[in-house]
Structure 1
Amino acid sequence: MAGKMTAPPPPFGPSAPPPSYEETVGGNNSAHSPPKGGMPPPYPQQHGPPIYVANQLVFQDRPVQMTCPSCRQLIITRIEHKAGTLSWISCGTLFLLGCWAGCCLVPFCVDAFLDMDHFCPNCQALLGCYKRL
């Protein structure tokens, strides 16, 4: 028994090699058959036309053309202005500089200082916000 040697067990997990690309993706080009090993596909399958989902980086200080995720219509967003961080900081700065007689309220009247909310004109859903700061 002294001459018989065995390989040490692997430090972690099973000793089987990882699946190949064909096994993971499904080498038979069938989008509906799961890959070997009973694991779900690596990415969800899309059925029908892709739907554009908006994120913060899409919205600007002007209307944006997109597909509404709520009503799934191609739209140009409707924007509404609202006071944001930049408006309040500018107002406070002007007040500290001596503009007490109402001039410190000018940033609330200038669109360049205001944030914008983007809405769908069809279903009125809030799609996102554009913030100056």
Structure 2
Amino acid sequence: MSAPPPPYPGKGQEAGYPAQPPPPQGYGQPYGAPPPAAYPAQPYGQPAQPYGQPGQPGYPQQQGQTTVVVAQPAVTVVQQFRESPVHTRCPHCQAEVVTATQFETGSFTWIICLVLCIVGCDLGCCFIPFCVDGCKDVTHSCPNCKTVISRYNRM
């Protein structure tokens, strides 16, 4: 192979400008050429190590892998205590239970009774809401410790 041709003297050198400096060592090497002797070969994706021996200043210490833990937000399940029993955890005895339900007379029952009395159902028919569970409030209690867990009001 012969030597490369001399550089083209472009307009800059004719006008008195200095020639551009040659590129730094290691740039412009053909693909697959060994790296310059100043830098040791590194595995793919690894940063180049500076000069020096382990334990000396300027030499990075070997570090372990860093594990990033991302905490997921807690999922809060809101249970709706309505007419039917609910599978839940009792806040008092911490047992997994199906609540015991009990129907009790509430304000909605009395309002329906008053409306029926005003309409003209005053011969005892106005007391029908006291016999219908759909007009009463529902109390949910724990079957183990018998404490009230929740109350569903119709109003």
* TM-score past 0.5 threshold: yes
Q: Does 1:103 align with 2:118?
A: no
Structure 2 counterpart SS, 1:92: helix
Identity of aligned residues (%): 37
Unaligned runs of 5+ residues in structure 1 are 1-26, 32-42
Distance apart, 1:86 and its partner CA: 1.4
The equivalent of 2:82 in structure 1 is 60
Q: Which has the larger radius of gyration?
A: 2
- Equivalent pairs counted in the alignment come to 87
**Runs of 4+ with >2 A deviation:** none
C-alpha separation in 2, matches of 1:126 and 1:62:
15
Q: Runs of 5+ in structure 2 lacking a partner?
A: 1-66
Amino acid at match of 1:73: A
Match of 2:103 in 1: 81
Give, as a single letter, the amino acid of the residue that structure 2 aligns with 1:119: S
Map residues 1-133 of structure 1 onto 2, 5 A cutoff. Answer: 29=69, 58-133=80-155
**1:98 Cα offset (Å):** 1.2
Task: Note the C-alpha offset of 1:105.
Answer: 0.6
Distance in 2 separating the partners of 1:120 and 1:70: 9
CA root-mean-square deviation = 2.5
Equivalents in 1 of 2:152, 2:110: separation in Å? 16
